[in-house]
């Protein structure tokens, strides 16, 4: 618990970072950049878990452990996604989202 | 004092986050992302979750960022700026994000959280976390722990398989 | 006694039809003919036995011939009184038909072994003949209106199949279609009549429908429409069906074209049996025709018959195709039968017309079948249907010549041949009851003699053209039926028909009124003499007369343009204006609505398909916007 800082302020910060992540996810035109935005979103989520654990349920450990898991999952996800991206780059020599429209109507 | 530090960290995190999603140089974006992750780690340290902060630093700020840097160096020319995003889309995304953030913050602020005063007995240290992870009792997390370990293994195998697809194909063809 | 065996009478031809029809590629030419003829021989013997037993053994009860259900089984049950049965009804007229139909059919089966020799589809021909015989026997033995309707349509189908037997010939296909459509159109009237009867009388059963007390009851109850009782209307509709089958004016147009079929088929179906089904139907429902509205429907029958007999006789004089002459002659003679039924009374000697109609049906079947089979033999020999290609054939074909002459004399009403007796009784009945109809009948008797002998002289006398192939007498399979039928033509007139067949079933003694008979003999002989003058030797006389009559002859030669009128009505009026407007409505409004829906969907989708851009980011944006919108709505609602 940070002295003098309430839960509201920390949650506000995490919310803002979360939506910055969404903004990035929607606007970025490069697959790696989109993945980075996802990292921001995950980070904000993990931060929320930790803060709520600390401020509201100090006796429990659930939030911390979930954050650990989030970090682990994020690592796995990043590794896999980057593997896919590299493979894709080998196939079409591009990472622009405009070139990846095969799901179009 | 701590409050001021928190505010500074917060402002820095938001600033770097904005820069990470808007900078047109990919390598720089990654570095800005690193700063955001560092800020998160700082907050973990400030609320006395030292182990978590350490994991954040090593895995996230260390491992994942390095992974990003490597892959960017593999696929992009570093000096090539990212393509311009049209302003209409940026505006639309900005409006949606701002509206979402405003909505969520309003919801958070209007909710009455019940603070619980911290007691010394509930200090969270590495010892406790380790025991909780390996405990199969009432408040144990052994099952998710094992699942995550298998997930990581699978992810590792999958990443290798995907990245090496072409070579595998070639091997099959030569056979 | 047990009469269930009568079921076999129609079922044997059905069995033969199935046997030949299902194996028509395996059973080869002569065998199928033998199978068909043998099957029919059995049927014929059983039919004759049944008819004989009926007339002389068990048919009469208390001096009156009864309607006996030899077999009856309920097929479809609607109400306790209204149900459709399948059964065998024996009464005088069906017993008469039990002699006519199998006899003629047997002759035709036998004859066709020679006539259809080496035709492709020989087995098919016999299968169709058996199907027809089955349907016709089922028709005459029906116990109720619905059963008769079913077999009515089945004879229509077999007639269609047999007319279209030479299906490579476009004219045969057209003729088959025409016959089927015209009779089908008339049968619609029949169906309407049946439905009206089922609604008002609440029964299909002939025994009940012809029961006098039932008719009296029904007269009290049934409603009035346009001054006539509903039952009269129903009977008129039923008569439309009968008129279609029997080629009464104006539904006669199919019969001349039906001559496209093989000649034995014309003899069987279009001269002796199927075309008299209309007469049979009227006779079957005779009490109903007679008693409702004092016989209004019967008057309609009489006048339609009288008009048709005159109309057809006029056309018959002008035709050159010998089969067409015979076809119009058939129409004319059926008109005679209708006329006879139409002028008949009910009780005792009053029923002379009814009896004479059935008698004429019987004798006409014999000599008209004989004429057709003779014509078949001639066509077989000359390979042409047209009189112009014939002449002097008496030297080449003596048997055909004599039998044909006998039949022509019979149809002209010369005693002591069969036609004389039946025709004389028709004229007597008309004379007693309806003078104008009698006059028409009398004139037609003379015309009949004239055109028949025109035909006869033109074929067998006239000049002696050079035939490419020398004509020769037909083989024995063809001449034997001719001889048998000629014997029947000579003898059948002496049957005391009135003893057996009368409207009330009691029978009466008919006697020949010699003053009237001599008048009819005179006009018959006059017609023959006139024909002799015109046609015995080749002369210019007919051509001159044709020129003298000019337009009248042309009209008659073209059958008074009835076909063209039909064409005009259907093609120009119905197809172009009525159907055309429906087609427009269908294409523009109905299809337009459907196309509009389809095009509208395509148009909308082309406008909104851009939403599915294939980009994850767009989808994410929609998703987030949607979630935000939902949250806002929820908030506004619950806060």
Q: In sequence order, what DSSP letters do the residues of C376-417 get, joined into one string?
A: HHHHHHHS-SBGGG---TTTT-HHHHHHHHHHHHHHHT-TTS
Residues 6+ apart with CB under 8 A from C302: C338, C339, C341, C342, C343, C434, C437
Q: Closest Cα partner for A36 from C130, B16, C211, B142?
A: B16
**Two structure tokens written together for C166:** 């030479």
Q: Is C7 exposed, middle or buried (0-12, 13-18, 19+ CB in 10 A)?
A: middle
**A100 within domain boundaries:** no
Instruction: Give the end of a domain, one of B16, B51, B82.
Output: B82
For residue A104, give the chain C residue with the closest CA.
Answer: C614
In chain C, positions 569-628, which contact chain B (CB-CB < 8 Å)? 621, 624-625, 628
A60 assigned to some structural domain = yes
The interface residues of chain B toward chain C in range 36-95, judged by CB-CB distance below 8 A, are: 92-93
Cα gap C464→C537, rounded to integer Å: 10
Give residue C344's Cα distance to chain centre: 22
List the end-to-end C-alpha distance of chain A, in Å, as a whole number.
52
- Beta-bridge mates of residue C228: C225
Residue B119, in any domain of the structure = no
pLDDT at B165 over 70: no
C463 SS3 class:
coil
Nearest residue in chain C measured CA to CA from B107: C635
Q: Which residue in B72, B76, B81, B84 sits closest to B25, CA to CA?
A: B81
Within 13 A of B46's CA, how many CA atoms are on the CB side?
Answer: 25
Query: Residue A104 and residue C616: Cβ atoms within 8 Å?
Result: no
CA distance C342 to C286: 9
| Chain A interface disruption, residue of C617, C619, C621, C628, most A CBs within 10 A | C617
Distance CA C291, CA C201 (A): 14
Q: Does C181 touch chain B (CB under 8 A)?
A: no
Verify whether the Cβ–Cβ distance A25 to C613 is below 8 Å.
no
- Nearest CB among A26, A27, A55 relative to B115 is that of A55
Contact at 8 Å (CB) between A24 and A57? no
Neighbours of chain C (3+ CB pairs under 8 A): A, B
Helices (H) and strands (E) in chain C, counts: 28, 6
The CA distance from B57 to the nearest CA of chain C, in Å, is 30
Number of domains in chain B: 2
Out of A4, A19, A59, the one facing B100 most closely (by C-beta) is A19
Based on its alpha-carbon atoms, the radius of gyration of chain C, rounded to whole angstroms, reads: 30
User: Does the CB of C606 have a partner CB in chain A at under 8 Å?
Assistant: no
| Gap between the Cα atoms of C174 and C172, Å rounded | 5
- Write out pLDDT tens, residues B64-109: 999 899 888 888 776 677 777 788 888 989 999 999 999 899 888 8
Contact A84, A92 (CB under 8 A): no
| Other Cβ atoms within 10 Å of B175 Cβ, number | 5
pLDDT at C404: 87
- Secondary structure (DSSP) of C576-636: IIIIHHHHHIIIIIIHHHHHHHHHHHHHHHHHHGGG--S-HHHHHHHHHHHHHHHHHHHHH
**Rg of chain A over CA atoms, in angstroms?**
17
Both structure tokens of C83: 């149900």
Query: What is the reported pLDDT for B120?
Result: 52
Q: CB A15 to CB B148 under 8 A?
A: no
Could you tell me if residue B113 is inside a domain?
Answer: no
Q: What is the DSSP string of chain B?
A: -HHHHHHHHHHHHHHHHHHHHH-S-HHHHHHHHHHHHHHHHHHHHHTT-HHHHHHIIIIIIIIIHHHHHHHHHHHS-TTPPPPPPPHHHHHHHHHHHHHHHHHHHHHHHHS--------GGG---HHHHHHHHH--STT--HHHHHHHHHHHHHHHHHHHHHHTHHHHHHHHHH-
Exposure string over C36-73, b if 16+ CB within 10 A, otherwise e? bbebbeebbebbeebbebbbeeebbeeeebbbbbbbbe
Give yes or no: residues B141 and B65 share one domain.
Answer: no
Instruction: With beta carbons less than 8 A apart as the criterion, state whether C132 and C155 touch.
Output: yes
Residues of chain C with pLDDT under 70: 1, 222, 468
Is there a contact between C417 and C410 (Cβ–Cβ < 8 Å)?
yes
Rounded to the nearest angstrom, the minimum Cα separation between A101 and chain B is 17
pTM, full prediction: 0.68
- Our CA-based measurement puts residue B175 at a distance from the nearest CA of chain A, in whole angstroms, of 23
- Domain end, chosen from B66, B82, B98, is at B82
Q: For chain C, first and last CA: distance in Å? A: 96
**Is residue A52 included in any domain, yes or no?**
yes
Q: Is the Cβ pair B103, C631 closer than 8 Å?
A: yes
pLDDT, residue B25, reads 87
Nearest to A23 by CA among A2, A8, A10, A38: A38
CB C39 within 8 A of CB C130: yes
ipTM score of complex: 0.89
The verdict on residue B102 lying in a domain is no
In Å, how far from its chain's centre is CA A1?
24
CATH number at residue A19: 1.10.287.3510
Is B67 found in the same domain as B4? yes
Same domain assignment for residues B78 and B133: no
Report pLDDT for B122: 58
What does the alpha-carbon distance between residue C21 and residue B108 come to, in Å, rounded to a whole number?
Answer: 89
Residue A2: inside a domain = no
Domain hosting A45: range is: 7-95
Domain of B158, in residue numbers: 124-175
Say yes or no: B69 and B18 in one domain. Answer: yes
Instruction: Tell whether B156 is covered by a domain.
Output: yes
Q: Which of C609, C613, C620 has its CB closest to that of A25?
A: C620
Token pair for C493: 């007139």
Q: Which positions in chain B touch A39 (Cβ < 8 Å)?
A: 33, 37, 60, 64
Mutate to test the interface with C, among B94, B99, B104 (most CBs of C within 10 A): B99
CA distance C609 to chain B (A): 19
Torsion-angle region of residue C72: left (phi > 0), alpha (psi -120 to 50) or beta?
Answer: beta
**Burial class of residue C564, CB neighbours in 10 A (0-12, 13-18, 19+):** exposed
Residue A102 falls inside a structural domain: no
Could you give the number of structural domains in chain A? 1
For residue B62, what is the domain's CATH number? 1.20.120.1200
Q: Percentage of chain C surpassing pLDDT 70?
A: 99
**pLDDT tens figures, A7-52:** 888 999 999 999 999 999 998 888 888 899 999 999 999 999 998 8
Please indicate if any CB of chain B lies within 8 Å of the CB of C632.
yes
Q: Is residue B99 part of a domain?
A: no
């Amino acid at each position: 618990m940070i002295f003098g800082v309430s839960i509201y302020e920390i949650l506000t910060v995490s919310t803002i970072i979360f939506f910055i992540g969404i903004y990035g996810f929607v606007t970025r035109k490069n697959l790696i950049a989109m993945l980075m935005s996802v990292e921001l979103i995950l980070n904000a989520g993990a931060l929320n878990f930790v803060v709520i654990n600390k401020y509201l349920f100090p006796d429990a450990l659930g939030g911390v452990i979930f954050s650990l898991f989030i970090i682990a999952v994020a690592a796995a996800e990043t590794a896999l996604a980057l593997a896919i991206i590299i493979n894709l780059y080998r196939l079409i020599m591009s990472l622009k989202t405009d070139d990846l429209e095969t799901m179009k109507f | 004092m701590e409050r001021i530090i928190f505010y500074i960290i917060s402002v820095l995190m938001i600033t770097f986050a904005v820069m990470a999603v808007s900078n047109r140089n990919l390598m720089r974006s990654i570095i800005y992302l690193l700063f955001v992750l560092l800020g998160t780690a700082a907050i973990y340290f400030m609320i006395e979750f030292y182990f978590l902060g350490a994991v954040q630093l090593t895995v996230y700020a260390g491992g994942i960022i390095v992974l990003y840097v490597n892959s960017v160096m593999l696929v992009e020319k570093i000096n090539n700026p990212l393509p311009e995003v049209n302003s209409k889309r940026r505006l639309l995304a900005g409006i949606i994000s701002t509206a979402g953030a405003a909505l969520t913050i309003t919801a958070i602020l209007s909710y009455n959280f019940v603070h619980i005063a911290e007691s010394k007995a509930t200090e969270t240290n590495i010892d406790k976390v380790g025991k909780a992870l390996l405990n199969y009792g009432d408040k144990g997390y052994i099952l998710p722990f094992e699942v995550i370990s298998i997930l990581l293994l699978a992810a590792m195998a999958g990443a290798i398989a995907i990245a090496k697809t072409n070579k595998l194909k070639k091997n099959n063809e030569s056979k | 006694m047990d009469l269930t065996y009568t079921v076999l009478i129609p079922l044997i031809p059905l069995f033969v039809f199935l046997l030949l029809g299902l194996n028509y590629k395996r059973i080869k030419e002569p065998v199928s003919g033998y199978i068909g003829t043998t099957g029919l021989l059995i049927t014929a013997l059983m039919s004759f036995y049944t008819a004989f037993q009926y007339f002389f053994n068990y048919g009469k009860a208390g001096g009156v011939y009864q309607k006996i259900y030899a077999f009856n089984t309920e097929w479809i049950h609607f109400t306790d009184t209204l149900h459709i049965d399948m059964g065998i009804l024996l009464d005088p007229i069906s017993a008469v038909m039990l002699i006519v139909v199998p006899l003629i059919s047997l002759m035709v089966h036998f004859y066709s072994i020679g006539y259809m020799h080496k035709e492709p589809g020989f087995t098919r021909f016999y299968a169709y003949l058996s199907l027809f015989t089955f349907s016709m026997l089922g028709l005459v033995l029906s116990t109720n209106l619905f059963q008769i309707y079913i077999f009515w349509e089945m004879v229509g189908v077999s007639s269609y199949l047999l007319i279209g037997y030479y299906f490579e010939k476009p004219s045969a296909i057209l003729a088959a279609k025409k016959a089927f459509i015209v009779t089908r159109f008339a049968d619609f009237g029949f169906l309407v009549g049946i439905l009206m009867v089922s609604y008002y009388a609440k029964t299909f059963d002939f025994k009940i429908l012809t029961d006098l007390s039932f008719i009296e009851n029904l007269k009290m109850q049934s409603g009035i429409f346009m001054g006539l009782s509903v039952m009269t209307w129903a009977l008129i509709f039923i008569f439309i069906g009968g008129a279609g089958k029997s080629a009464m004016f104006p539904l006669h147009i199919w019969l001349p074209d039906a001559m496209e079929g093989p000649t034995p088929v014309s003899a069987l179906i279009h001269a002796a049996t199927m075309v008299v089904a209309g007469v049979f139907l009227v006779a079957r429902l005779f009490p109903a025709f007679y008693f409702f509205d004092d016989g209004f429907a019967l008057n309609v029958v009489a006048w339609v018959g009288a008009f048709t007999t005159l109309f057809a006789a006029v056309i018959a004089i002008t035709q050159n195709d010998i089969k067409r002459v015979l076809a119009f002659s058939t129409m004319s003679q059926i008109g005679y039968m209708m006329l006879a039924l139409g002028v008949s009374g009910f009780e005792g000697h009053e029923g002379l017309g009814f009896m004479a109609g059935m008698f004429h049906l019987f004798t006409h079947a014999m000599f008209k079948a004989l004429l057709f089979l003779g014509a078949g033999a001639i066509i077989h020999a000359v390979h042409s249907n047209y009189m112009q290609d014939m002449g002097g054939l008496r030297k080449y074909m003596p048997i055909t010549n004599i039998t044909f002459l006998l039949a022509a004399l019979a149809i002209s009403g010369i005693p002591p041949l069969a036609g004389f007796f039946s025709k004389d009784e028709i004229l007597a009945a008309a004379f007693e009851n309806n003078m104008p109809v009698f006059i028409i009948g009398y004139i037609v008797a003379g015309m009949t003699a004239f055109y028949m002998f025109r035909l006869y002289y033109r074929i067998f006398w006239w000049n002696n053209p050079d035939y490419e192939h020398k004509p020769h007498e037909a083989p024995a399979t063809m001449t034997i039926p001719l001889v048998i039928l000629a014997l029947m033509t000579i003898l059948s007139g002496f049957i005391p028909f009135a003893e057996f067949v009368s409207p009330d079933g009691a029978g009466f003694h008919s006697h020949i009124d010699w003053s009237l008979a001599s008048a009819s003999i005179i006009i018959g002989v006059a017609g023959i003499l006139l024909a002799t003058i015109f046609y015995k030797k080749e002369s210019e006389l007919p051509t001159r007369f044709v020129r003298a009559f000019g337009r009248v002859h042309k009209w008659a030669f073209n059958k008074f343009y009835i076909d063209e009128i039909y064409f005009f009505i259907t093609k120009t009026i119905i197809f172009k204006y009525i159907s055309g407007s429906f087609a427009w409505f269908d294409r523009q409004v109905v299809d337009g609505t459907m196309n509009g829906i389809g095009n509208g969907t395509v148009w909308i989708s082309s406008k909104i398909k851009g939403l599915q851009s294939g980009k994850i980011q767009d989808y994410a944006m929609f998703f987030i916007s949607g979630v935000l919108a939902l949250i806002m709505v929820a908030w506004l609602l619950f806060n």
